[in-house]
Structures are given as C-alpha cells and as structure tokens.
Amino acid sequence: MTFMLRSALACRWEQFLFRPPSAKLHGSKDRYKIKLRSIGYRLVYEVRDAEVVVLVIAIGRRDRSEVYRVADIR
C-alpha cells in the first residue's frame, strides 16, 4: 500500500466506526465502502459486531467496478 493511500485512509478511519446508509453496498448485509476520490481508490469493508471486528475486504481503483467484483468473490 502506498504512503498516499495509507495517509488518505488514516484521515478517514472514523468512518469505520459508523455505518452510513449511503456507504452500504447493494446486495450485501454488512459491507460498506469508503470513497477516496482524490486518489481514485475505494475501500470495501465488513462490520462484524459479534467479534468486534472491522474487516477490510478489498482496496483498489474503481476502474469498471473491479474492486467491487473482487470484494464479492471474497
């Protein structure tokens, strides 16, 4: 992961604590996305309350929704 990507994610870490309806992925129960528009990346994460875990599923560019396809496979 590049320094630029890490820095952008570090600034947005508080979003992991919440579940904004606008960030919910369609067709999945507890998966959400964070858009890093300035660098063109998306982060897909899953919230697991029973384990008190936020699991990062995929990080990647939005190019033709590739990051979302990778997240669906995982």
Question: What is the pLDDT, as a whole number, of residue 66?
Answer: 81
Q: Which two tokens stand for residue 74?
A: 């995982």
Domain boundaries, position 42: 3-73
Spatial separation of the C-alpha atoms in residues 19 and 69, rounded to whole Å? 21
Which sequence positions are flagged as catalytic?
A: 33, 62
CATH number at residue 25: 3.30.2310.20
Question: What is the pLDDT, as a whole number, of residue 71?
Answer: 83
Q: Which two tokens stand for residue 4?
A: 């630029």
Backbone angles phi, psi at 46, to 5 degrees: -125, 135
Spatial separation of the C-alpha atoms in residues 44 and 60, rounded to whole Å? 9
Q: What is the pTM for the complete model shown?
A: 0.65
CA angle 9, 18, 22 (to 5 degrees): 85
Rounded average pLDDT over 32-36:
84
Counting the structural domains of the chain, the total is: 1
Three-state SS for 44?
strand
